[in-house]
Amino acid sequence: MVQTKIYKIGPGTQKDAFETMIHKTAEALLNGKTAAFPTETVYGIGASIFNENAVLKIYQIKGRPPDKPLSVLIGSAKDMDKAASEIPDFARLLAEKFWPGPLTMILRKKEEISDKVTAGKGTVGLRVPAPRAAGIGAADGAAGLSERQPVRRRRAEIRRRCSKRPERKN
């Protein structure tokens, strides 16, 4: 059984406690774990895009079809180059104007980006959410289930779904 750790962050959270929580979450992602987190539109379920097993966990948790690509959350427009091979000037202008925010840009992916993230497509959806991601590498599947249910879910439902899925053993 997966053990869920909950980090509560709010207006009263001390800076050092906040940094510790972010560090622990980043470490968990680097170690192949998943995380649920808020964005400006939904709660997302994230994993490192550089760990295919972790990416597969997002599909498993959500019951998401493997032919439906995940968005890649990045920390800023500067990180676009790390995931996209071609970035037109207009994409940089859009990023400057609308990021962070609910804009996902579909761009040609770099070869290093796993086909598991992009569902085998030659493109990748990039987004800088508000609050911002900690940098390149969080694949995001909105926390709603993929079985034609509403995308917006309460935290308790997300926690329940994430807690009940067994860890995949290789």
What is the domain class of 37-164 according to CATH?
alpha beta
The Cβ-side half-sphere exposure at 61, using a 13 Å CA radius, reads 30
Quick count: other Cβ atoms within 10 Å of Cβ 152? 12
For the cut 80, the answer to whether the pLDDT of residue 33 exceeds it is yes
Tell me the sheet residues that pair with 105.
126
pTM: 0.73
Q: What is the pLDDT of residue 114?
A: 92
> Minimal CA–CA distance to 41: which of 126, 106, 101?
101
pLDDT, tens only, 65-115:
999 999 998 889 999 999 999 999 999 999 999 999 889 999 999 999 999
Amino acid at residue number 64: R
Tell me the per-residue pLDDT of 94-106, one tens digit each, with 9 for 90 and over: 999 999 988 999 9
> Residue 67: CA atoms inside 13 Å, Cβ hemisphere, count?
0
